[in-house]
Structures are given as C-alpha cells and as structure tokens.
C-alpha cells in the first residue's frame, strides 16, 4: 500500500526562483536563505519519495479570476512551468502520477470534499519555487509530483480547519492506493506577508514562530485559527499558511497515530516581502 512518509513546509517567494535562475544565490542578501535549505536538499536526496503531493496556490496564472476552484487536483501526465509575464522559468517540466491522482480524487470526493479535476494546467511559482528550493537545479525533478491547488487568492477561501480535515482525507486516500509507494506531502506558501495596501511589507516574527510551534506540537490549535486572525497578524497574504494545514492534517498523529519527528526548522526574514519558513516532519 502507499503511505505518507513525511511532510515538508516551505515558502514559495517568486524572487527566490529568480535568484536561482539568475545565479544570485551566493549574493549576501540571498546566501542565508539558500544556506537554510542545504539540510533539506540533502535530506530529500537521502529520502527521495516515489511521489510528492504538492499543495500550493495558483496566483491567477492557470486559473484566471474568471474561474476559481477552491481545491483542484492535477490528474495530468505532465505540467509545464507557467509563463507569469517574463517567460516560463527555466526549470524541468513536472511529471505527474495520473493513476495516484485519479485514486485520490475518487477517494477524497467520496469523503465529501468536492475537488475540481484538472487534466491540463501550467504550474506557477507556487509549485516550482518549493521544488527549486528543495532540489536545486536538476535536469529533471527527482520524482513525479501531483499538483494540488488551493484558492487563497479570492475570498471566500477555505478555513484552516477544513484544510486540516482535507489533509486527513488525503492521507486515507493515499493509504488505500494499492501500490507500494512512499509519498511526501508538501504544504507551501506563507509565512507572514502583505503585498499591497497601507500595510504592504508587513512581517510578524512572533506570529510566524508561534505558528511553527503549533504546527509541530499542537496542529489542532493551528487549524482553529480563524481567517481574520491571519489577516490581522500575518498580513493579507499570510492566509497562504492554511495550505500548510493540509499537509499537517495528512500526518499520522492527526488520525490517532504517533507524533511526527521534526527533523528541520528554519526561519529567515526577509526574502522579498516575505518571512521564509521551512519545516520537515517525518512520520515515525
Ligand atoms: C511575494 C510573495 C508571494 O507569496 C507571492 O506569491 C508573490 C510575491 C513577495 O514576497 O514578493
Ligand atoms: Fe504567494
């Protein structure tokens, strides 16, 4: 049977992708950010899964504001890096896992979460920057990736609690797939940031570190944070953190199993307009 072996959490700041693509990772501004991911890059080499289930948000790239699915699962055989206005990033195409995607869609929809099925889409920085941070610049990504897009761009967006419960449903779906696959689930986006309005540039280290504490030790408490609290404390784009709760809900302890082991925790301010946060939790 398939099983979730670990979860990875990381910011997806687009300027990080540009720094990698333009060869700026050793510049003084960027060096501490990339240094913070050296552990994760080695860890991923040592713990390469068969599939990554990557929870991210599309930034009005594949889905324009004409049509906005709350939860969308990619079921395609492959996905191209999106052109977000300055040409597609020079990164490998993403190879999917249509069989596991179709199985998860079937199982999760039967568990009463209405997913949108996406047979064709391009993937933006929300998905490619986390892969770049964890993999560097390979010729091909190390394994197939299932893109799972969450609407955190246009209100109403899903609650943290619903995201956490969805993670539990995804874990059940993975556990009922009849192939012996190691699956990682990644939750991306965040941490505190606001890109527009009078509070543009807002970063809240206390909120972010408290969120990391809760995510590790008391995920139910993190799941109960209401939208208004994210907006007040973490800025308008801090709401991206609900995507981390999907990954956290898929860990064994959310279904009564043992607590995960936190093997990596990293936090750095600033990267572009954003506080960068990164965690790796292993199921034990
Ligand atoms: C920035 C961060 C984001 O999450 C994003 O989607 C776009 C821009 C930033 O910090 O500049
Ligand atoms: Fe974003």
Contact in structure between 105 and 115 (CB atoms under 8 Å): yes
- Using the mean position of ligand 1's atoms as its centre, give its distance from the Cα of residue 244 in Å: 16
pLDDT of residue 111: 98
- Using the mean position of ligand 1's atoms as its centre, give its distance from the Cα of residue 276 in Å: 11
125 as an active site residue: the answer is yes
Write the residue with the smallest CA distance to atom 10 of ligand 1: 273
Of the candidates 12, 125, 268, 278, the residue annotated as catalytic is 125
Beta bridge partners of 265: 279
* Residue 190 CA, closest ligand 1 atom number: 4
For 67-79, what is each residue's pLDDT tens digit? 999 999 999 999 9
Residues framing ligand 1 (Cβ under 6 A): 12-15, 59, 193, 195, 237, 272-274
Judging by DSSP bridges, how do beta strands 78-79 and 145-150 pair with one another? unpaired
pLDDT of residue 192: 97
pLDDT of residue 42: 98
Tell me the DSSP string of 54-79: EEE---SSSS-TT---SEEEE-SSEE
Position 90 confidence tier, pLDDT thresholds 50, 70, 90: very high
For 33-47, what is each residue's pLDDT tens digit? 999 999 999 999 999
Only one residue has tokens 């543009």, namely 200
* C-alpha triplet 129, 247, 9: angle, nearest 5°: 40
CATH topology of domain 3-223+238-269: Protocatechuate 4,5-dioxygenase; Chain B (3.40.830)
Structural tokens at position 113: 């979460």
Return the best residue to mutate from 241, 274, 277 for the ligand 1 pocket (most ligand atoms within 8 A of CB): 274
Return the best residue to mutate from 13, 16, 268 for the ligand 1 pocket (most ligand atoms within 8 A of CB): 13
DSSP symbol at 283: -
Structural tokens at position 284: 């034990």
What pTM was computed for the model? 0.98
């Amino acid at each position: 049977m398939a099983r979730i072996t670990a979860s990875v959490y990381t910011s997806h700041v687009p300027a990080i992708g540009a720094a990698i693509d333009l060869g700026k990772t050793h510049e003084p501004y960027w060096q501490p950010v990339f240094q913070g991911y050296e552990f994760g890059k080695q860890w991923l080499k040592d713990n390469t899964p068969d599939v990554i289930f990557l929870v991210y948000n599309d930034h009005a790239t594949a889905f324009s504001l004409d049509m906005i699915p709350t939860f969308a699962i990619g079921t395609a055989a492959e996905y191209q890096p999106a052109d977000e206005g300055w040409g597609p990033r020079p990164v490998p195409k993403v190879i999917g896992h249509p069989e596991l995607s179709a199985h998860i869609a079937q199982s999760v929809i039967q568990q009463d979460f209405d997913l949108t099925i996406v047979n064709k889409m391009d993937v933006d920085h929300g998905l490619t920057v986390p892969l770049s941070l964890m993999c560097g610049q390979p010729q091909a990504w190390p394994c197939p990736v299932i893109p799972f897009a969450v609407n955190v761009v246009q209100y109403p967006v899903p609650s943290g609690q619903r995201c956490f419960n969805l993670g539990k449903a995804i874990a059940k779906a993975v556990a009922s797939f009849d192939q012996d696959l190691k699956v990682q689930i990644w939750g991306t986006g965040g941490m505190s940031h606001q890109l527009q309005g009078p509070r543009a540039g807002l970063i809240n280290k206390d909120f972010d570190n408290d969120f990391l504490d809760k995510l590790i030790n008391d995920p139910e408490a993190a799941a109960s944070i209401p939208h208004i609290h994210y907006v007040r404390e973490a800025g308008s784009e801090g709401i991206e953190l609900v995507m981390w709760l999907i990954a956290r809900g898929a860990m064994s302890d959310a279904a009564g199993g043992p607590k995960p082991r936190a093997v990596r925790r990293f936090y750095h301010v600033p990267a572009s307009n954003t506080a960068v946060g990164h965690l790796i939790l292993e199921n034990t």
